[in-house]
Amino acid sequence: MLAVTDEAREGGPRIVGYLCRWLVAGEYHILNIAVHPEFRCHGVGTALMAGAVAEGRARKVSLMILEVRRSNLEARRLYRKFGFEERRLRRNYYGPGEDALVMELVTE
């Protein structure tokens, strides 16, 4: 897990964003990325994705892959900023009427 903390908080740091990933058979799967609502639009998601892409390249993976809600335009924009491309649609992945887009970044 990659995480970003808020060090300025009274009582000690707290996690304000995280990214979970798997490295499987030369592929890097981003499973989940989340940013606390108070910290959105402050570069936390960008920092997490930059760290993940850098880690994937350092590990010389051939492909990075993730699923994103079709309706989540902000997330899709963030992923495209790092070179991810929409490849496939998974109908009802998040439940009835909630499709997912599979996005991939070829790193070789």
The domain segmentation of the chain, as residue ranges, is 2-106
Known catalytic membership, residue 79: yes
pTM of the model: 0.87
Known catalytic membership, residue 67: yes
Q: What pLDDT is recorded for position 2? A: 67
Structure tokens at 86: 């929409």
pLDDT band at 66 (very low <50, low <70, confident <90, very high): very high
Residue 25: enclosing H or E segment and its boundaries?
none
Q: Active-site residue among 10, 38, 55, 79?
A: 79
Please identify, in words, the CATH class of the domain defined by 2-106.
alpha beta
Q: What pLDDT is recorded for position 45? A: 95
Catalogue the E-assigned strands of the chain: 2-6, 14-24, 27-35, 63-69, 85-90, 100-106
Q: Which of 16, 44, 99 is nearest to 52 (CA)?
A: 44
